[in-house]
Amino acid sequence: MSLPLGEPVPDLDLVLTGDRTLKLSDYRGKALVLYFYPKANTAGCTQEGQDFRDMTGAFAATATVILGASRDSLKAQESFKAKQGFSFDLIADTDETLCRAFDVIKLKKMYGRESLGIERSTFLIDAAGVLRHEWRAVKVKGHVAEVLAAARALT
């Protein structure tokens, strides 16, 4: 079940790069872009992360924080962040709590096989912790600019 737009997001624990644990509520007072990607160091996920990285300053100008999330281990997330020079934190959601709360685990087909995986999705949460926008089944090209426009509209 998806989280409804216009409602507060659940206050879940986050395991972040830098070996830190925070809650979603720790970001109150700033808008938050929470983007989910299938797997660190794959082509589409790398490009999406680079696009967010390259626009970090523009998001900061709107008082918006960026967090990326996948089911990868903390070690994999640390490596991905360092390799790509991401200035924002990545979430290691190894138990899928965050993924399931945002309903991004979907049945996917690849090479004729079915498996459960993350559907590339992005959520924009306002400074009060309320879900304002969602993008599902995201295509990477042009996506970050669209999210930035929505973040600018919040201010």
List, by residue number, the catalytic residues: 45
* Greatest extent of the chain over all pairs of C-alpha atoms, in Å: 45
What DSSP element (H or E) covers 18? none
- Rounded to 10°, the helix 143-154/43-54 angle is 40
Instruction: Report the C-alpha gap between 32 and 130 in whole angstroms.
Output: 10
Q: Single out the residue of 70, 66, 69, 68 nearest to residue 32, CA to CA.
A: 66
Residues, the chain: 155
CB neighbourhood size of 126 (10 A):
20
Q: Single out the residue of 11, 30, 13, 32 nearest to residue 21, CA to CA.
A: 13
